[in-house]
Structure 1
Amino acid sequence: MTTFKVNGSPFVLLSIWVLLLLPHTSLSQNTTFLPNAYAHNDYWHKRPLFDALDNGFTYVEADVYLRKGQLVVAHMLPVLQPSRTLDKLYLNPLSDHFKNDSMGMNYPRITLMIDIKSDPEKTYQALADLLHRYESLLSYYENGTLYKRAVTIVITGHKPVRTIKSLDCRYVFIDEDLIQMAKEKNPANLFPIASCRYGRILSRNSEETLSKEEKQNLCRYVQIAHQNGKIVRLWASPENTKVWKELLSCGVDLINTNKLVELKTFLLNRYPDFAKTN
């Protein structure tokens, strides 16, 4: 087997190939980013966070359980895996990426959607304790003023709305129910995103095109959200380009997907004006 020496130490060429095959564990310096791209259940991908950001996504979602004092990332009630915690999969890598850019001036700002799956109050308290370590990185709201930084945390799922709403200074925001949003007047500095299941507004039979009535209904909700300074997301939507086109034509801001490459290709080919460069 061929070998070479570095500083007198022998290395086998095979080890080079092993290193090349190791999973990528640093964020790419991607110059194209997609403000409309939302990585649903991001942790299912081979490289959580990294695959999404390498494809230009600016919104990533992680489901979280409070388990044995740790925030574990999983879709179902997990068996504790030390490597699958929120800080190890998301917060630490983001902190490293924005180490010298906490304001998000050199790289695209990221929104991390945290879907709380366990008790909302207990899980949020554990999250708040964890986020203290990353405060210099995070957008926050204090005494009536919103301060934008590199990473914005938005809570969805089981949301402790009253607790978060009562805070004078907070480092998290809330994903509002799109249907309720049309009835209430909650501020965008607390609820920057309004979401709901695709099937609550549109028929599940609408897997390619929307009827005139469906479009009018969706556009009405989108218009109300935009008038209130909020962006819109429909989750559990059909994963195909025809539906994506229909949603964008109605003004839906975030396309929710598990198909990272397909959505990136669709947006760059069909909607290049939606892509931005840093």
Structure 2
Amino acid sequence: MLGLKSCLAILIGYVVAVCALFSSKGRNPSLNNWEKLKDQKYSTLDNFGLTGHSLLQFFQDNLAILGFSEEKVHHKRSSFYYDVFKEYILRGANSKKCSSANSAIAKLNKDVNPMPVHSHNDYWRKLPLFEGLAYGARSTEADVWNIDGKELAVGHNEASLDPVELTLDKLYTGPLSKILDEVNCQDSFSNSKNGVFFNSPETSLFFYIDFKSDDNELTYKLLMQKYFKPLIDSGYLTYYDMKKEEVSWNPITVILTGNYPTSLEVLDNGNDDGYFNSNQRFAFLDAPLLDLEPKYSNLSVTTTVSFNELMRHCGSDHWKVLLRGHIGSDEITCAKKVIDEAHALKLTTRIWGAPTWPFNTVKTISHQIFHDLGSDLLNLDDMFMASSLI
């Protein structure tokens, strides 16, 4: 974190720069000068090398300065913080620069290791996608609604939808495409693509798409043809190789959940060789952990269960564990057996709905879920708390 003196120095520098512009250009500086000032601010910030939580905190503490602009502010997400942060993070990607060391991913998580956490309701965060990546969350999610068969809006319920600004493309697939292009722009001896974690480029980001609309077939069609096609063409999506009968891992792994279609006729667009006739299936089903079948080894890479369902399967429940403050030995033995069976099918396990308070209980149970049960992912809402638990 920056000290008070450093922050004051930056503030003074920006004020001096602004005053200089006004004194030389009167009260109406040209847009070109404002763009130079903005670039100067961001270049100065680059030099500090802030990343992860430190970068997020710095933006929140200095938002008024970093977002200083001649133009009237237009909140594309009803959040000035998001607009300014996104502009800074994607600045290099938008300019088509080819430098992994100065990339958006380097800014987001250069000093952060991936953590086995699912960014629950990620679109509710102040910085959808970016906050989870800054903390190193290995998994994220977006709830999607089909708007007149033309757009997929992201939101928890219909009342909060904005089909113009809060879309899957603007919040997720567009930024993902840009930041991945930025770290895959140089010739490489390897056929593998670099992913969204600077310290672990081989680690794939699980991207859960939660279907909310009734017409799930049309939603799936939009997903594949409009939103995921650019990522597929760039080789960024994990796929199931239908000829080799194995998974080929890439930077982003799409998981369908919620009201998703399950028919292979829909998933493969009526073709025997995949949606795009390439012998590849680019979306995986989120398998039910307590009702696994052998078929999921070909259709899924993840399996999910709620904490309460898992505990009830083991003769207990959420409240008993919460009051006790830890998972009991019999519960661990039972739950671990379930998770081991999923691992035997090569499925990554995810648990949601575990206790979220008090902190010491959350810490104890989270540790048990990872180390005693052997689960791979845990839903958590508070990324800062999650980073202190793992």
TM-score, reference length from structure 2: 0.62
For residues 137-187 of structure 1, what are the alpha-carbon distances to aligned partners after superposition, in whole Å with 9 as ceiling and x for unaligned?
211223334322111111111121113277442211111000111xx1124
The one-letter code of the counterpart of 1:103 is K
Contact 1:143 1:169 in 2 (8 A): yes
Cα distance in structure 1, aligned partners of 2:296 and 2:125: 34
AA of the residue aligned to 2:239: Y
Match of 1:253 in 2: 376
Alignment partner for residue 138 of structure 1, among 237, 252, 267? 237
Q: Which residue of 1 aligns with 2:175?
A: 93
Q: Determine the structure 2 residue equivalent to 1:114.
A: 209
Q: CA RMSD in A?
A: 2.5
Match of 1:236 among 350, 353, 356: 353
1:4–1:109 distance in 2 versus 1, CA, 3 Å: farther
Compare relative contact order (CA 8 Å, sep 6+) and give the higher one, 1 or 2. Answer: 1
Answering whether residue 256 of structure 2 is matched by residue 155 of structure 1, we say yes
Q: Distance in 2 between matches of 1:175 and 1:232?
A: 10
Aligned to 1:4: 20
Match of 1:84 among 150, 163, 166: 166
Secondary structure of the structure 2 residue equivalent to 1:152: strand
3-state SS of 1:161 partner: coil
Measure how far apart 1:133 and its partner are.
2.2
CA offsets 1:89-136 (integer angstroms, 9 cap, x no match): 011111111104271266343121111111222211111112112212
Q: Which has the higher strand share?
A: 1
C-alpha contact 2:151 2:163 (8 A) present in aligned 1 = no
- Give the number of equivalent residue pairs: 263
Higher helix fraction: Structure 1 or Structure 2? 2
Deviations 1:182-219 (A, max 9, x none): xx112434211110121111111112311233212211
Would the aligned equivalents of 2:307 and 2:351 in 1 still touch at CA under 8 Å?
yes
User: For 1:37-90, what per-residue CA distance to the aligned partner results, in whole angstroms no more than 9, with x for missing partners?
Assistant: 210110111000010000111211111111232111111124434111111101
**Which protein has the larger Cα radius of gyration, Structure 1 or Structure 2?**
2
- Cα distance in 1, alignment partners of residues 165 and 242 from structure 2: 37
Letter in 1 for 2:222: A
**Higher alpha-carbon deviation: 234-243 or 106-115:** 106-115
Aligned: 1:129 with 2:145: no
- C-alpha change, 1:103 and 1:76, in structure 2 (3 Å) is same
Give the whole-Å Cα distance in 2 for the aligned partners of 1:132 and 1:209.
45
Q: Tell me, what secondary structure is at the counterpart of 1:185? A: coil
C-alpha contact 2:308 2:318 (8 A) present in aligned 1: yes
**Worse overlay, 122-131 or 74-83:** 74-83
Q: Which runs of 5+ in 2 are unaligned?
A: 1-14, 42-62, 68-80, 90-103, 185-191, 312-316, 357-361
Residues 1:217 and 2:299 are matched in the alignment: no
Tell me if 1:49 matches 2:129.
yes
Structure 1 length-normalised TM: 0.85
What residue identity is the alignment partner of 1:128?
Answer: M
Q: State how 1:194-209 maps to structure 2 within 5 Å.
A: 194-202=303-311, 203-205=317-319, 206-207=321-322, 208-209=325-326
Look up the SS of the partner of 2:127 in the other structure.
coil
Indicate if the aligned counterparts of 1:33 and 1:58 stay in contact, CA closer than 8 A: no
Letter in 2 for 1:201: L
CA drift of 1:230 comes to: 0.7
Bigger Cα displacement from structure 2, 106-115 vs 132-141: 106-115
- Counterpart amino acid of residue 84 in structure 1: L
Structure 1 contact 45–51 (Cα < 8 Å) conserved: yes
Matched, 1:103 2:193: yes
Shift of residue 34, structure 1, vs aligned partner: 2.1
Q: Which amino acid aligns with 2:205?
A: I
Which amino acid is 1:62 matched to?
A: A
Contact 2:257 2:285 in 1 (8 A): yes
Match of 1:20 in 2: 66
Letter of the 2:379 counterpart: N
- Secondary structure of 2:157's counterpart equals coil
The equivalent residue for 1:164 is 267
| Structure 1, unaligned runs of 5 or more | 268-278
Structure 1 distance, partners of 2:156, 2:286, is 18
